[in-house]
Structure 1
Amino acid sequence: MLPDVPADRARAVAERARAALNEPFLVDGLALDVDVSIGVAVSGGAPMDIDSLLRQADIAMYTAKERQSGVEVYDAAADGHDRGRLVLLSEFRRGMAEGHLVLHYQPKMSLHTPTVEGLEALVRWEHPTRGLLLPGDFLPAVEQTGLIEPLTDCVLDLALAQVREWTEQGWEVPVAVNLSARSVHRPDLPARVLSALATHGVPAGMLRLELTESALVAEPDRARDVLTSLHTAGVSLSIDDFGTGYSSMGRVKHLPVSEVKIDRSFIAEMATTAEDAALVRSVVDLGHELGLTVVAEGVEDRATAAALADLGCDVGQGYLFAAPMSAAEMTGWLADRFTRHPG
């Protein structure tokens, strides 16, 4: 792009480009702010093919994203780690396009009646050589890139197609889909969600979107606008991993959410740690005061389930009830549940 330019001058050009792109764009009367990250690679006069140079620039760009520095010049010392991540992202993009992403489902059960309150959709990657990969193996890298939005759309599409299939079998079970912090701040998210619901003919009330507390910290006003649009359309909203971030019931009460999920770390220790038991009790009480459903994550044994029920917690999720299952396995599980508990 810039012949015979040393690294420092290339960085200066990138900084000027970034400054120009960071100016607000006026679109249909709205001022839009765009964050830009730029990676710089310099051939140094040595022979280098275009693909290698672009790969180095790509690595530098991801480094700029991580450090939130705006511009970074390729550093060979960081290539080992970043190259592996770059390969992973390339494989993920291809895997998503080729249909290698699948959803597993874990039930959310009433702690007071034998009722299936809903299911949570959990994404998995059927990697052609590494086998079934869990979110922790690929989501951290994906969330730093623009791939998180196509992933969100893919998961919505898979989940709603499955909801439609189960509904046609007579099982009306709401399904929850997790949102990244980046998705929560996208003004086009409500339109994308409504489009997916319409495509599959699924009522908005059959979908619940779960967001973490951290998603509410950055640009809370924009997040509130997006969530309000979803709520107005009839989509249910939930705060996931409550208690581990920077949120509070004071913040939650100003958001159109209907559910809070207490993080599993507090549930695991509530039987032996007074502080965790007190936190669970306070979340349950305050949640009910605000008219929210309270869900406990990570319920592993009957004693914990009984203790939660005594505190008035509404719903439990965890291996006591069922591990995450493939769509086919969950179909069999639902058939058995609805046969034994038709209501």
Structure 2
Amino acid sequence: HDALLEQINEWSKETAAPADALMDIINLRLKNIDKLRNQVGHQKADKIVAELARQLKEALGSSAEIGQTATNELVGLHANTEHSREELQEKLQALLRQPIVIDGNEFRLDTSAGVLRVKRENVKDNANVVIHDAHQHGYSAAENNQVFSFLDQDNDLVNDQDEPLSKQLLSAIENENIKLYYQPRLNTNSGYFSVLEAIVRWRDNQRGYLSPEDFKPLIEEASLAKQFTGWMIKTAFNDVSQWIKKDFIVRLSLHITLNDILEPAILNAVAKSLNQTKFPASSLSLEVSERSLVRINEQAKVYLKKLRSMGVTVIADQFGEGQLTLQSIFVLPVDAIKLSENLVLQATSNSDKKRTLISMIKMARSRGLKTIATGVDNRAKLLLLKHIGCDELQGSILSKPTAKDDIPWARIR
């Protein structure tokens, strides 16, 4: 750690390098090295790691510095790099696909590469934080079984290309089996609807329209869930653009963690849509599941913080069902909590649960968090939630999800 710190500090103070010069910190996690060490012995395992380090330096260039920071971790520093993300990804993936040959025998390492790219001007007097961030990013890449993960600390969020839709989704969209509806949320202070939440419905020939929970098994694969959410974002922003032209007041809420993973690519798609449509970021809310917040990776956390800095509101969805407490929410990049339907249902029939809900809403308000309740489908829930001061309410007793052409604009403020 000390050697890394010294090298990064020296580079940050170089007068010959421009302020916007870049350094890549490459963290390689060798996930099966302990197993190999037990199979072939410490000496040969050390040779395997040393050979990987040599090959990494060769791939990056003679100016790169490579060191072993733990028995299962290599760190490479490449100062003043000129590699694009794509070039670096190609080099590292090609390297990690190849077996390591020692004494004529091939050994395959199960390796994950996490790359943190930093500017020289951002490193000065900040090297400890940079090392920590690089370490965390490498750890997250390994935990998520990513062969390559890239995080640019100065990323502008909007450079990635759109991912093409699968044939399955294209077919469903073209046949209008997938549609986007909008359900208004009531602001309890004003008495008007104030937000439209985009809700996806997928029509099944036998069962009719399915909710996201119903069709989640159809898109369990991560790439499909990402494509589906990307389609939803694009469609919602197209609708928003049409409403703005008609001078409708629009505040939009999007659920972006269908498979309980907060994807950096999805956050990028949101930023890209905001940039293209000029829709005010302060009029957009992103709903993310509790589970996705618990296991958020460093890249997604950076992107989420940048969206919040633009004015986007982040809502912890289905709060009260998972592992998160209000205390843990306070340290996460969250502006509001959306109470789980079960939490509200129990509070209408159990006095202890009612007291818990009241306490939760008071505590959230004291820390500046907005509270939202969904599943308000009867008068008992409506009266309770209004009485205890919940900020926004959503449910069938107020308004059902409607098609984009049937939204009750006269009741929206």
What TM-score comes out, normalization by structure 2 length?
Answer: 0.58
Aligned identity (percent) is 25
Q: Tell me the residue number matched to 2:199.
A: 122
Compare 298-307 and 115-124 and name the one that shifted more: 298-307
Q: Tell me the residue number matched to 2:145.
A: 35
Partners of 2:371 and 2:392 within 8 A in 1 = yes
Partners of 1:213 and 1:242 within 8 A in 2 = yes
Q: Tell me the residue number matched to 2:252.
A: 175
**Correspondence 1:94 to 2:171:** yes
**Correspondence 1:337 to 2:404:** no
Partners of 1:208 and 1:237 within 8 A in 2 = yes
1:221, CA displacement in angstroms? 4.8
Partners of 2:315 and 2:336 within 8 A in 1 = yes
Partners of 2:336 and 2:369 within 8 A in 1 = yes
Structure 2 Cα separation of the partners of residues 240 and 96 of structure 1: 26
Partners of 1:93 and 1:147 within 8 A in 2 = no
Match of 1:23 among 101, 111, 134: 111
Matches within 5 A, 1:4-23: 22-23=110-111
1:20, CA displacement in angstroms? 5.5
Match of 1:200 among 272, 277, 280: 277
1:220, CA displacement in angstroms? 5.8
| Cα RMSD, aligned residues only | 3.0
- Which letter does structure 2 place at the counterpart of 1:35? N
Q: Tell me the residue number matched to 1:237.
A: 314
Q: Tell me the residue number matched to 1:227.
A: 304
Partners of 1:184 and 1:226 within 8 A in 2 = no
Structure 2 Cα separation of the partners of residues 206 and 276 of structure 1: 33
Partners of 1:287 and 1:294 within 8 A in 2 = yes
Taking a change above 3 Å as real, the CA distance of residues 183 and 270 of structure 1, as seen in their structure-2 partners, is closer
SS at match of 2:222: coil
1:241, CA displacement in angstroms? 0.7
Structure 2 Cα separation of the partners of residues 195 and 321 of structure 1: 33
**Correspondence 1:142 to 2:219:** yes
Structure 2 Cα separation of the partners of residues 193 and 154 of structure 1: 11
Match of 1:246 among 313, 318, 323: 323
Match of 1:307 among 384, 399, 412: 384
**Correspondence 1:161 to 2:271:** no
Compare 295-304 and 321-330 and name the one that shifted more: 295-304
Structure 2 Cα separation of the partners of residues 98 and 212 of structure 1: 30
1:303, CA displacement in angstroms? 3.5
Aligned residues: 270
1:128, CA displacement in angstroms? 6.5
Matches within 5 A, 1:274-285: 274-285=351-362
SS at match of 2:274: helix
User: Runs of 4 or more off by more than 6 Å in structure 1?
Assistant: 16-19
SS at match of 2:183: strand
**Correspondence 1:215 to 2:292:** yes
Taking a change above 3 Å as real, the CA distance of residues 20 and 287 of structure 1, as seen in their structure-2 partners, is farther
1:156, CA displacement in angstroms? 0.5
Structure 2 Cα separation of the partners of residues 297 and 26 of structure 1: 39
The runs of 5 or more residues in structure 2 that have no matched partner are: 1-96, 100-106, 118-133, 148-165
Structure 2 Cα separation of the partners of residues 26 and 298 of structure 1: 41
1:127, CA displacement in angstroms? 4.8
Query: Once the two structures are superposed, what CA deviation does each residue of 1:279-303 show, in whole Å capped at 9, x if it has no partner?
Result: 2112211110110111111112333
Taking a change above 3 Å as real, the CA distance of residues 95 and 284 of structure 1, as seen in their structure-2 partners, is same
- Which letter does structure 2 place at the counterpart of 1:337? R
Report which of the two structures shows the higher radius of gyration computed on alpha carbons: 2
Q: Tell me the residue number matched to 1:325.
A: 402
What TM-score comes out, normalization by structure 1 length?
Answer: 0.69
Query: Once the two structures are superposed, what CA deviation does each residue of 1:123-148 show, in whole Å capped at 9, x if it has no partner?
Result: 11245776433323322331333111
